[in-house]
Structure 1
């Protein structure tokens, strides 16, 4: 299978309403990228699901660590953070 190719799976019709301004944005993006409205909406939903599934899994993993006593104190975390090279730290001054 080529990179980026999706495995064929059955497709189902879904219908929902969205604000007119959002539909206009979808239509403009579809036109600009020469894709269908359905493609743009499906990609947006895929990105949303991927991000939120990752977030929920990460929260659950953190809660599991907490339940098992695998924790780090604020002081320990600050020490670990201060020991990291400056280029790997996030710039929070923006």
Structure 2
């Protein structure tokens, strides 16, 4: 995997916590920052992809009717207005 430099600023408290975490885990700050950014980007990308798929399904008319949703909620003991 090729890496590229990325620069940014963080709150001093976050930086201090990062330093403590790096020492405790015997990992570099750079490694931990990379892992944190990767986790954030992966999660956000997944959410956007899931939302876009949902919108596509709605646009295709592939969604449950109000009545079907009410029946499913009722099965689990939840009444909808």
Question: Which of these residues, 48, 53, 68, is aligned with residue 61 of structure 1?
Answer: 53
Aligned length: 77
Structure 2 gaps of 5+ residues are 77-81
2:13 counterpart (21, 38, 51):
21
The residue aligned with 2:26 is: 34
Two-structure CA RMSD over aligned residues (Å): 1.8
Paired with 2:74 and 2:21, the residues of 1 have a C-alpha distance of: 43
Distance 1:83 1:74 in 2: 14
Query: Can you give the 5+ residue segments of structure 1 that lack an aligned partner in the other structure?
Result: 1-8, 85-94
TM-score, length basis structure 1: 0.71
> If the length of structure 2 is used for normalisation, what is the TM-score?
0.81
Q: Give the ranges of 4+ consecutive aligned residues of structure 1 lying more than 2 Å apart after TM superposition.
A: 77-84
